[in-house]
């Protein structure tokens, strides 16, 4: 029943050869790979205003354009840098891979840990922002924003466990729809402004008294810049996905980078301009985009179109993380720094363990931060810019090592990228430390430590198990083991007969072992044993504490003590199996307990002799006995 339900929800199993990869061209690839970046527009302008407006009020709208320009300048440097990454890593150059190749394992783990945190935050932030888009169009849902966010995560998890292909073309529509809506909004807003369509100025009381220019500290401006940098998250996605493009892949990817830059400049720049023209004041219950739409179009259809396209592109951005995070972890798992199970494909060929892990982590973040976009973004940018910096620094080393034609120019661009993002991460870390960035500074080193511990474990296991090829020819697989078989016996019955026969077929050195739990309880067994025509000894030990496993362990210890080298002890456990699971609960299943305990305690081979019982339904069972074996 459960299996059928599971198949309905998650789909039928897929064969390995079905692992296709549809190649993308620029037209389809741009929207799919840029959704994370472009969707940031939905909250980046708001983040800048949230820093400025409460402190300097209307003066914010003087600083806003400069900050937006600085962010766009940083974007251009980043995009130029990443176009070089595409050239150098045509098989996909995530920060983890670039850092591993050029900077060494610790840096790659730092990049891997930062990226893991980021992917998780991408889901949490995008989903929280998608809920905000929905609830600012439908204010009555505001109280349910956590539930809405969790529902969206659940849908993403199920969809991805079924195996949504990120490359499915349908996923390009939300991005184009969002870009189009923003372009319409910006155009209409500018026209309305220019034609004197009287922007609705915010009511005076919503803006605190301006404390004057002298109070505008550099720190505040830098903080606003740091907050706005959330517009640049997700730029890395394209460099990871180079192999997904049609030939010439690198060239297409670079074109996509150029288009991405253009899209962000238009959308982010446009919204920033509008926010300035219409002097939008951030409101936790209405996003900046909703406020702009209301000011420009009034309540009506456009409001719902904006909410829908924003919600969709944000959900798509979260979905990008559902493709990136499990893939990243599978790469790290192949290097042995995270549990191996993360590199295994599930029955739908996706990395289902990674998908589940990501969903759980994002759901926890949503609950802890009550789906508050603003609080989550404070954690967000640190990790993003750390991986940017590591990746660009790695590229500088790469060009230095390679020194191919024109390498100095490329190295310079990447160095500029590393430097600016390095400065940015420092700025963001300091200005947002108290707001939550400290969590990242705790979590990332913690993840690195765990990764190193896991790697140590795998290395230790490998060292103890591996056999070098040179030694293979010398291995003698034949042995002259002297077998000694111990058969724990509770009472004498058909299943014991089967076990003793099996034991005897291996060796003549067989012993039956019984633990007497209550005084005199073993007499019946002893009487039956004496009626047998056998030389197999029955060893009985009395257990005052009604404990079986310890006595068996002690006995095995004493036998091991008396054994010769080459002797090998097998504990042969008869265990019956009944047709229904509930029936197993009616039995002690001592053999299975002993098997478990023996495996953990002693260097003995544990064999289970199954005895399958039928389902006899009649209450008054015939007294006759079936022939034994």
- Contacts to its own copies from residues 457-476, by CB under 8 A: 457-461, 463-469, 471-476
Of 255 and 607, CB closest to its own copies = 607
Of 148 and 551, CB closest to its own copies = 551
Question: Contact between 593 and its own copies (CB under 8 A)?
Answer: no
Question: Which of 169, 285, 501, 526 touches its own copies (CB under 8 A)?
Answer: 501
Question: Which of 218, 480, 561, 562 touches its own copies (CB under 8 A)?
Answer: 480
CB of 338 to its own copies, least distance (A): 9
Question: Contact between 586 and its own copies (CB under 8 A)?
Answer: yes
- Looking at 34-42, 262-270, 427-435, 616-624, which segment touches its own copies (CB under 8 A)? 616-624
Question: Which of 138, 142, 433, 502 touches its own copies (CB under 8 A)?
Answer: 502
- Looking at 2-10, 292-300, 388-396, 602-610, which segment touches its own copies (CB under 8 A)? 602-610
Distance CA 554, CA 81 (A): 68
Interface positions, 249-268, toward its own copies (CB under 8 A):
none
CB of 570 to its own copies, least distance (A): 7
The 158-197 contact track toward its own copies, x by CB under 8 A, reads ----------------------------------------
Distance CA 541, CA 517 (A): 9
Distance CA 51, CA 43 (A): 13
- Looking at 165-173, 194-202, 247-255, 569-577, which segment touches its own copies (CB under 8 A)? 569-577
Question: Which of 344, 368, 446, 539 touches its own copies (CB under 8 A)?
Answer: 344
Size of the site for its own copies (CB under 8 A): 100
SS3 labels along 311-347? HHHHHHHHHHHHHHHHHHHHHHHHCCCCCHHHHCCCC
Distance CA 289, CA 293 (A): 6
Distance CA 217, CA 229 (A): 19
- Token pair, residue 472, equals 């293979």
- Token pair, residue 487, equals 């058969």
Question: Contact between 561 and its own copies (CB under 8 A)?
Answer: no
Question: Which of 255, 426, 553, 575 touches its own copies (CB under 8 A)?
Answer: 575
Q: Which among 295, 312, 373, 299 is positioned nearest to 180, based on CA atoms? A: 312
Q: Which among 322, 184, 189, 176 is positioned nearest to 259, based on CA atoms? A: 176
Contact residues for 205 (Cβ-Cβ < 8 A; gap 6+): none
- Token pair, residue 162, equals 């079924």
- Structural contact between residues 17 and 243, judged by C-beta atoms closer than 8 angstroms: no
Of 205 and 480, CB closest to its own copies = 480
CB of 91 to its own copies, least distance (A): 18
- Structural contact between residues 606 and 598, judged by C-beta atoms closer than 8 angstroms: yes
The 400-439 contact track toward its own copies, x by CB under 8 A, reads ----------------------------------------
CA atoms within 13 A on the CB side of 41: 37
CB of 115 to its own copies, least distance (A): 21
Question: Which of 183, 419, 443, 494 touches its own copies (CB under 8 A)?
Answer: 494
- Looking at 47-55, 59-67, 334-342, 401-409, which segment touches its own copies (CB under 8 A)? 334-342
- H or E stretch covering 537: none
Residue with tokens 């309880």: 521
Interface positions, 9-38, toward its own copies (CB under 8 A):
13-17
- Looking at 185-193, 289-297, 391-399, 576-584, which segment touches its own copies (CB under 8 A)? 576-584
CB of 497 to its own copies, least distance (A): 6
- Tell me how far CA of residue 151 lies from CA of 362, 366, 499, 521, in angstroms: 12, 11, 54, 60
Contact residues for 467 (Cβ-Cβ < 8 A; gap 6+): 475
Distance CA 401, CA 397 (A): 6
Distance CA 265, CA 409 (A): 25
- Token pair, residue 428, equals 């963001």
CB of 108 to its own copies, least distance (A): 15
- Token pair, residue 430, equals 């300091």
Q: Which among 344, 6, 9, 3 is positioned nearest to 155, based on CA atoms? A: 9
CB of 360 to its own copies, least distance (A): 15
Distance CA 232, CA 78 (A): 9
Of 134 and 357, CB closest to its own copies = 357
Chain-centre distance for alpha carbon 305: 32
CB of 603 to its own copies, least distance (A): 6
Of 283 and 511, CB closest to its own copies = 511
Distance CA 198, CA 184 (A): 18
Question: Which of 246, 504, 509, 541 touches its own copies (CB under 8 A)?
Answer: 504
Secondary structure class of 263 (helix, strand, coil): helix
Interface positions, 346-385, toward its own copies (CB under 8 A):
347
Secondary structure class of 92 (helix, strand, coil): coil
Question: Which of 401, 403, 526, 587 touches its own copies (CB under 8 A)?
Answer: 587
CB of 477 to its own copies, least distance (A): 5
- Structural contact between residues 428 and 386, judged by C-beta atoms closer than 8 angstroms: no
Interface positions, 519-558, toward its own copies (CB under 8 A):
519, 527-528, 531-534, 536, 544-547
Interface positions, 214-233, toward its own copies (CB under 8 A):
none
Of 282 and 336, CB closest to its own copies = 336
- Token pair, residue 226, equals 């740091």
Of 402 and 557, CB closest to its own copies = 557
Distance CA 371, CA 125 (A): 8
CB of 61 to its own copies, least distance (A): 54
Of 204 and 616, CB closest to its own copies = 616
Question: Contact between 497 and its own copies (CB under 8 A)?
Answer: yes
Question: Contact between 345 and its own copies (CB under 8 A)?
Answer: yes
CB of 425 to its own copies, least distance (A): 27
582, with CB counted inside 10 A (0-12, 13-18, 19+), is exposed
Which backbone phi and psi does 198 adopt, to 5 degrees?
30, 90
- Looking at 179-187, 314-322, 413-421, 479-487, which segment touches its own copies (CB under 8 A)? 479-487
- Token pair, residue 5, equals 């339900």
């Amino acid at each position: 029943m459960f299996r059928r339900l599971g198949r309905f929800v998650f789909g039928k199993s897929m064969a390995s050869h079905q692992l296709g990869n549809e190649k993308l061209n620029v037209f389809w690839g741009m929207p799919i790979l840029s959704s994370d970046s472009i969707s940031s527009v939905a909250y980046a302008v708001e983040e800048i205003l949230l820093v400025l407006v409460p402190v300097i009020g209307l003066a914010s709208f003087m600083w806003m354009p400069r900050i937006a320009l600085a962010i766009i300048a940083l974007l251009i440097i980043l995009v130029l840098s990443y176009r070089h990454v595409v050239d150098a890593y045509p098989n996909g150059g995530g920060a983890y891979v670039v850092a591993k190749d050029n900077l060494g394992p610790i840096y790659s783990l730092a990049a891997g840990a930062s990226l893991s945190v980021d992917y998780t935050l991408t889901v949490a932030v995008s989903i929280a922002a998608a809920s905000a888009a929905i609830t600012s169009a439908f204010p009555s849902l505001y109280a349910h924003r956590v539930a809405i966010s969790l529902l969206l995560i659940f849908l993403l998890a199920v969809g991805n466990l079924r195996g949504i292909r990120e490359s499915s073309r349908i996923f390009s529509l939300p991005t184009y729809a969002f870009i189009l809506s923003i372009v319409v909004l910006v155009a209409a807003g500018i026209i309305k402004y220019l034609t004197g369509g009287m922007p609705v100025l915010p009511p005076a009381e919503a803006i605190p008294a301006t404390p004057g220019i002298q109070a505008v500290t550099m720190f505040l401006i830098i903080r606003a810049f740091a907050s706005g940098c959330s517009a640049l998250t997700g730029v890395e996605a394209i460099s990871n996905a180079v192999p997904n493009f049609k030939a010439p892949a690198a060239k297409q990817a670079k074109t996509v980078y150029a288009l991405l830059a253009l899209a962000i400049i238009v959308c982010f720049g446009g919204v920033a301009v509008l926010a300035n023209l219409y002097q939008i004041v951030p409101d936790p219950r209405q996003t900046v985009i909703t406020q702009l739409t209301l000011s420009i179009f009034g309540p009506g259809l456009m409001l719902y179109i904006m909410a829908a396209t924003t919600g969709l592109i944000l959900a798509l951005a979260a979905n990008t993380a559902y493709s990136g995070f499990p893939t990243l972890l599978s790469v790290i798992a192949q290097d042995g720094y995270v549990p191996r199970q993360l590199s295994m494909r599930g029955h739908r060929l996706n990395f289902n363990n990674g998908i589940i892990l990501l969903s759980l982590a994002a759901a926890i973040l949503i609950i802890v931060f009550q789906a508050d976009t603003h609080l989550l973004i404070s954690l967000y940018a640190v990790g993003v810019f750390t991986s940017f910096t590591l990746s660009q620094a790695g590229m500088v080393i790469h060009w230095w090592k390679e020194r191919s034609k024109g390498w100095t120019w490329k190295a310079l661009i990447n160095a500029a990228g590393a430097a600016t993002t390095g400065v940015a991460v420092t700025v963001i870390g300091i200005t947002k430390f108290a707001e939550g960035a400290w969590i990242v500074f705790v979590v990332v080193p913690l993840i690195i430590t765990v990764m190193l511990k896991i790697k140590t474990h795998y290395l230790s296991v490998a060292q103890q198990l591996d056999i070098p090829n040179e030694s293979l020819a010398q291995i003698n697989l034949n042995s002259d083991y002297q077998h000694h078989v111990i058969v724990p016996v509770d009472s004498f019955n058909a299943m014991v007969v089967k076990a003793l026969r099996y034991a005897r077929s291996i060796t003549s050195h067989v012993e039956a072992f019984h633990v007497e739990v209550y005084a005199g309880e073993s007499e019946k067994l002893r009487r039956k044993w004496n009626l047998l025509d056998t030389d197999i000894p029955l060893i009985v030990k009395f257990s005052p504490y009604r404990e079986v496993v310890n006595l068996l362990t002690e006995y095995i210890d004493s036998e091991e003590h008396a054994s010769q080298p080459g002797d090998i002890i097998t504990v042969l456990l008869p265990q019956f199996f009944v047709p229904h699971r509930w029936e197993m609960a009616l039995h002690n299943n001592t053999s299975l307990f002993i098997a478990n305990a023996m495996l953990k305690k002693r260097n003995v081979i544990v064999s289970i002799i199954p005895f399958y019982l039928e389902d006899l339904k009649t209450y008054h069972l015939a007294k006759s006995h079936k022939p034994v074996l």
